[in-house]
Amino acid sequence: MKELHLICNAHLDPVWQWDWNEGATAALATFYSAAQLADEYDYIFCHNEALLYEWIEEHDPALFERIRELVKAGKWHIMGGWYVQPDCTVPSGEGFVRQIESGLSYFKEKFGVRPTVAVNFDSFGHTQGLVQILKKCGYEGYIFCRPMPGLMELPDRVFNWMGFDGSTVKASRFEDMTIYCSELGSAVEDIKRKLIPWQESDVAFALWGVGNHGGGASRKDLGDIKEYIEESKKNGVTVVHSTPETFFSRVDPTAEFNKALEPCFVKCYSSDSRIKFKYAELENKLIVTEKICAYAASECGTKYDRKAFAEAQKNMSAVQFHDVLSGTSILDGEQSSLRKADYAMEILDKQFTKAFFDLFSGYEKAAPGDYPVFVYNPMPYKVDGIFECEIFLLNGIVSDTEAYDFKIIKDGKEVPYQTVKEGSTINMDRRKRFAIKSELNPMSLTRFDVVISKKEKTFLDRTPQTEFDLGRGVTAKFDKETGCLISFVVDGKEYLAGGAFAPVMFEDNADPWGWHMKTVGKNYKYADVKTSLRVVERGDLLTTVESIYDTGKSEVRVAYKLYKDYDYVDVTVNVCWNDAGKGLKLEIPATDAHRFIGQTSFGTQEYEHDLEQCSHRFCGLESDGKVLAVFKDGTYGCSVENGKLYLTLLNGSVYCAHPVGNLPIIDEERFNYYLDTGRHEFSFRLAVCKERELERMATEFIQKPYTLNAYPHGKGEKKEHSPIELSDNNVTLTAFRMVADDCYMIRLINNYKEGAECECRVFDKTLLLTFGRYEVKTLIYKGGELKESDSMLEL
């Protein structure tokens, strides 16, 4: 070794075994100490995470100004540039871009700097989709520490990490028992140990500084390092205080690595279902709200409040923090993070409502006694499907013989509908919910008018039914004893090899990370049937059947919604979970279990069998060009074992129960809070499709049409023109937003292993786009011109 770069840092979890406010006090103390030592020693303090700098700016303005001076002097380095160190497996590709954008925009505004090496020292695994994101956000390098060597072998100390699309960034895993930290007063000893694996390298780096709850450098350590630098000179080794950018400028790796840096700590894919569902909901809400607000701004002149969106985005980025989104923080950390997410949701809801109200206000007034319903379709193409809406009637009927009848009108013509159970449980004919079958206008509003009359009251036919012909060559069959879906035939082929969506309990331990685990749970046991297969909805459009299961302490409801003339089944699972220390999965036995694939950040990952994996909004089994796919709204953990697909819904973890040596994980003699006890709801869609269609179908599943019974005043003109149109619907729109006055950003992905061509119209301009495999493209519409951008960011 000829050259050693010392990177002083103070890894500081803003929330973990403590809540956010304690993290802020640790940041204040650490930054103050680092600034003070900069006056005494010639070293560079490196720190990332814009959130921490925001705390300093708010609570200690004088210290903040001192840090700005040190940055200009080159003695303080803005490292990484992200808002926090996020979980690097769960966020979507768009979620990662917003994390980076929130951080970089802050550092550009406050310090005038732009880091080019990203660092996520403490995150538990890293999706391969990050590579394309890093590259197109202007990053050249990446430093990480996990998975550790015992979990994954890498080709070299520094290597070229390759993304799904073929792009690469330089990457390096730093390996040591203290990883990014060093013990107080023992930095030199720690550094020497960390250098052992680098002896054959010409250029090396070492991370040092007291961490986890802040700390950084100390006087003793800086004094010892000064002596170490002089001693190393005598041995022909140049040792310098440095930065990640300087180190990566000195290396030119040749080894390549073309995989995800995962799995790692596999229970993090399912620990703390509440925070994962809330995050997934928030991420989706942000994207859909941006779409309708950008549309309303262009059509109605509605103010697009970029400050409000930036605030919501920062709170979403904070919730991505790796000890929050992974489910490994304390209860206080979970609760305060949920508040951050709900705060962001409220901001977005206000923006969405303003846009929606402005868009429907131009329609004609309703005829007396009619009930207008407006539906926003967030897809940039027409959607033919069944969607649900509710209205509240002027007068109610309480009768055994009489009930309301309805016609639902669109553009002067009746459309098929079916009444279904409304959200209210008041037993009278007043609050009504409809399932409506119709085509919706692309990325705009569609109006329906509900016209009421009266009829003789009828009652639900609850006759048990186990076999269903859904049309289009699709049939479904249930077992009347177990209540499970046992057959799903599409185009003459059977895709199930037994009871699907069977609730399966498993034994677990308290550790929410899953240290040393490759799979989650042992000793699987089917839940007992409590109520088997009863009909709760039946009509011309859909039938809903449900089964209820009992574990002795918990109850699980599995409801199947079967649609006439649609080739998928929607499944809702309601859980009241009281089995502390145990977990819950759903089992889906498949006739073919070949390639196990799932959605990750801007990509489709192929997974190994018999390992717990992290997939986003879809996972499935591909065979002979078709995929038995499960679309999902907020679960991530999954596996394939013995030809069966398992979806991990809940596990038996305790808040922040970190294994230490051979000690018991928790004290069994006192009360412990288990993460996943309580009430939960999960939504899935089972379908058979081509792999090329998965991204589009997943987007349609999570970005469902929004419906509202609303009464326009007849002002202005109604708005039904889609702002975006794509010639290939399998090229998916992941973002449409305003980034400046009269400037719109559009993001598209071809999430498939083969390229695609797509004509994209934005307002009055059209581009023919050629996509490579798994390629993400960003377009900018400004001043009447539409062009591609080399960057995913518009800072």
Could you report the per-residue pLDDT of 560-597, keeping only the tens digit for each? 999 999 999 999 999 999 999 999 999 999 998 789 99
Q: Using CA atoms, how far apart are residues 407 and 404, in angstroms rounded to an integer?
A: 10
Is residue 780 over pLDDT 60? yes
Residue 686 and residue 286: Cα distance in Å, rounded? Answer: 26
Structure tokens at 104: 């970089």
Q: Which amino acid is at 487?
A: S
What pLDDT sits at residue 715?
66
* Confidence at 178, pLDDT banded by 50, 70, 90: confident
DSSP 729: T
* Separation in Å, CA 20 to CA 15, 241, 335: 5, 31, 11
What integer is the mean pLDDT of 248-265? Answer: 97
Query: To the nearest whole percent, how much of the chain has pLDDT over 90?
Result: 95
Residue 623 tokens, joined: 């065979």
* Nearest C-alpha neighbor of 15 from the set 288, 487, 239, 334: 334
Length, in residues, of the chain: 795
The string of DSSP codes covering 231-245 is HHHHTT-EEEE--HH
Task: Look at the block and give the residue holding tokens 């009909």.
Answer: 535
Does position 512 have pLDDT exceeding 60, yes or no? yes
Helix (H, G, I), strand (E, B) or coil at 13: coil
431 φψ region: left (φ > 0), alpha (ψ -120 to 50), beta (else) = beta
Six token digits for residue 694: 């998965």
Angle at 651 between CA 649 and CA 652, to 5 degrees: 155
Please write the tens of the pLDDT for every residue from 23-36.
999 999 999 999 99
Question: What does the pLDDT read at residue 212?
Answer: 86
pLDDT 10s digits, 725-759: 999 999 999 999 999 999 999 999 999 999 999 99
What pLDDT is recorded for position 538? 96
CA angle (521 as vertex; 517, 523 as ends), nearest 5:
130
The mean-pLDDT minimum among 293-297, 401-405, 435-439, 696-700 falls in 401-405
The larger pLDDT score, comparing residue 625 to residue 346, is at 346
- Let me know: does 390 contact 432? Beta carbons within 8 Å: yes
Mean of all residue pLDDT scores within the chain: 96
> pLDDT band at 794, cuts 50/70/90?
confident
Give the largest Cα separation in the chain, rounded: 100
Contacts 24+ apart (CB under 8 A), 493-497: 493/626, 494/591, 495/590, 495/591, 495/592, 495/628, 495/688, 496/588, 496/589, 496/590, 496/591, 497/589, 497/590, 497/591, 497/643
Residue 716 scores a pLDDT above 60: no
- Write down the pLDDT at residue 717: 64
Query: Binning pLDDT at 50, 70 and 90, where does residue 795 land?
Result: low
Look at residue 320 and tell me whether its pLDDT is greater than 70. Answer: yes
- Region 76-99: mean pLDDT is 98
pLDDT of residue 284: 98
pLDDT digits (tens, 9 = 90+) for 429-470: 999 999 999 999 999 999 999 999 999 998 889 888 999 999
**Predicted local distance difference test score (pLDDT) of residue 259:** 97
Give 719's pLDDT tier (boundaries 50, 70, 90).
low
Residues paired with residue 493 on neighbouring β-strands, in sequence order: 490
Q: What is the pLDDT of residue 713?
A: 86
CB 170 within 8 A of CB 131: no
Banded pLDDT at 721 (limits 50, 70, 90)? confident
In the DSSP assignment, the letter for residue 367 is P
Separation between Cα atoms, residue 672 and residue 510, nearest integer Å: 10
Within 602-703, strands assigned E span 603-607, 613-614, 618-623, 626-632, 637-641, 644-650, 678-689
pLDDT of residue 177: 85
The average pLDDT across 384-388 equals 96
Q: pTM (2 decimals)? A: 0.97
Distance (Å, rounded) from C-alpha 407 to C-alpha 413?
10
pLDDT score of 659:
94
**Digit-coded pLDDT (tens) for 32-82:** 999 999 999 999 999 999 999 999 999 999 999 999 999 999 999 999 999
Distance CA 101, CA 144 (A): 20
| Contact of 173 with 150, CB cutoff 8 Å | no
Q: What pLDDT was estimated at residue 36?
A: 97
> Taking a C-beta distance cutoff of 8 angstroms, is the pair 489, 475 a contact?
yes
Burial (CB < 10 A; 0-12, 13-18, 19+), residue 768, is exposed
Tell how strand 542-550 and strand 3-8 pair up. Answer: unpaired
Confidence band for 238, pLDDT divided at 50, 70 and 90: very high
Residues 277-318 have pLDDT tens digits of 999 999 999 999 999 999 999 999 999 999 999 999 999 999
